[in-house]
Every structure is written in structure tokens, then in C-alpha cells.
Amino acid sequence: MHANIFSTQNRKFEWINFLEPDEKELEKLAQDLKILPIYVQDILQAEHLPKVEPIGEEGCFFLIARVLDPALGNKDFNSIKEATNKLAIFYQPNQVISIERSAYPWMEEMIQKSATLPVELTSFQLVSKMLKQCFRSYEPILFKIVADLDFYEGKLFENERFPPFAKSLYAIRRKASILKRLFTVSSPLLEFLQSYEFSDPLAQDAIDMYNRINTLVEDVNERASGLINLNLSISSQRSNEVMRFLTIYSAFFMPLTFLVGVYGMNFKFMPELDWQWGYAACWGLMLGMAGFHFWWFRRKNWL
């Protein structure tokens, strides 16, 4: 399904939008534009990464951008393909053809408000507005990740008993890593916009959005990695505390166990058995040894 949004009769350029076209529509589009069939395959390929390629005459480009899937919600994802859909754009000074592989709310809103767009709007400015919305589509999931990181960061120090956050933190780290990789491979789109950075304010606006989202992506990626390391450090520290307590506890009873073992051997000739104060002396020795250990541990600040 396609719709003619702008025409050259009342605008400087033509804008045609395709929504979830099938292969036949794309083949006809390739014939009309006299472009290579390989671009049709790029559009149909669901996992294709962002790119910018010059086609045909000078100043004509084929762009692919990735847009966060509006239906993703709070679902986990393990790849760029699971998290995003494609937006393909054929750009030339007098024509823009946008191809949505899925319905995007911001594109629908842009089409509905197309009549209110300035008459002097150029085709490049329209593409800049589309790319800006592509970058902005990642804001909701990034804000959700930031909120999750804030939650787990507080919980790590809240309870004495170590909470099992490793799995949740790894899932967040996985999301952040995928988004970081996505923005790394989206650099050709940034370079395309930067070619008009100083001559077009809308291009600069889209660049600012890219930099803002990219900075946020790097921040959540670093925070997720840091929290995983902190999680492991706290786990190791608390395990060490448990081992330290058990070691001190066993150090108190080790000499006492030795004395009990000696006097529990039941030899016939043990002179202490006939002493009047043997029982009291044994208790005094055991208490003295325990007291000495307590004093020694306190002196070393182990207690």
C-alpha cells in the first residue's frame, strides 16, 4: 500500500510513502526508478543494518535506518532484528520515497500533519526529520533501562542478604550492548546528515538527537557493566565475610576440642583425674584460652 503525500504541483519535491509493501510493489518501484534489484533485496531483508549508498545520479541516495519496534514494550530482545524494524528511504532533491516495513506512529503523525509543514521544506529536510524520529524512537526503552539500573543500584546495598540480581543485570547489559552496537553501525546516517550540518538547521537538529541518544546508550552500557562488576564484588565480599566468621568461630573451638579429645581418651593412668580441683582447672583453662583468643582477635580488629 502506498500514498502520495506531496506532489511537485504544490511542493518543491514529491513524497511517496509505502507501508509494508510486498515484493511485486517493490519490483515495480525499482523499475520506475531504474535502480538495481539489489536494493529491493536490501529492503526485504529483515536483518539489514543501517547504511547510506549513493545511487543513480549525483545527489541521490538509498538509506536504511532501524526504528525501535513500537510493539516491543518491556519484552527482552537478543538481537537488533528482534528489537527494531527498518525504514528505507530513496532520496533525491526532487523526490523522497519512504518504505515502512512496519507501521510507525510517528510516521503516521507526520503524514497526517503534512499539510501544515512549511511550503519551503526541502526533500533533505524531510529526510532529516525522519531520521530524527528514528533516533528518538529509542528514548522509551533507554529511559526504562535507566530506571531499572537505578532500582537495582539501590537494591544492591539495601539488604544484608545478597539479592539474586545477576540474571536481571545481565539482561539489561545485553539490551544496552545491542543498542550500542546498533548506534555504532548507524554512523553512516550521521555522516549523511553531517554533510549538510552547517547549512541546514533540521540536519543539525537530527545530529543533536543522534548524539543525545548515543550518549545515553553509552551511559547505560557503562552503568550496566559497572553494576554487574559491583554485583560480583559485593557477592564475593559477603562470601568472604561468611568465611571470616566461620574461621573465627572455628578458631575459638579448636583448642577446646583438643582438650576434650585429650581427656576423652579414657587411659587408666591420667593423674588429673584424681585431682580435687581438676574439673575446675580444666574449665578455667578452657575459659582462659577462649578469653585469650577473644582478646587477640579484638586487638587485631578481626571482631
d(CA 186, CA 196): 17
Mean pLDDT on 258-279 = 76
- Rg for the chain, CA atoms, rounded: 35
β-sheet with 95-100: strand ranges across: 2-6, 14-19, 95-100, 84-92, 61-68, 51-54
Count of CB atoms within 10 A of residue 65's CB?
23
**Greatest pairwise CA separation for the chain in angstroms:** 122
- pLDDT at position 169: 82
Least trusted range by pLDDT, from 68-77, 124-133, 153-162, 219-228: 153-162
- Read off φ and ψ for residue 150, nearest 5 degrees: -60, -40
Residue 205 contacts by C-beta under 8 Å, 6 or more apart in sequence? 128, 132
Contact in structure between 132 and 212 (CB atoms under 8 Å): no
- pLDDT at position 201: 86
> Residue 75 corresponds to which amino acid?
K
User: What is the tally of helices (H) and strands (E) in the chain?
Assistant: 10, 6
Q: Please give the C-alpha separations between residue 208 and each of 49, 68, 83, in angstroms, as whole numbers.
A: 21, 18, 23
Q: Which has more confidence, 215 or 43?
A: 215
**Angle at which helices 201-263 and 123-136 pack, to 10 degrees?**
20
Q: Using DSSP, state whether 56 is helix, strand or coil.
A: coil
Give tens-digit pLDDT for 10-68: 788 888 888 888 878 777 777 777 777 787 788 888 788 899 988 877 778 989 999 98
List the one residue out of 134, 142, 79 whose CA is nearest residue 107: 134
Q: What is the mean pLDDT of the chain?
A: 82
In this structure, what C-alpha cell is assigned to residue 203?
540536519
Give tens-digit pLDDT for 271-300: 777 777 877 888 888 888 888 878 887 787
For residue 147, is pLDDT > 60? yes
- Does the predicted TM-score (pTM) go above 0.85? no
For residue 111, is pLDDT > 70? yes
Residue 194 contacts by C-beta under 8 Å, 6 or more apart in sequence? 203, 207
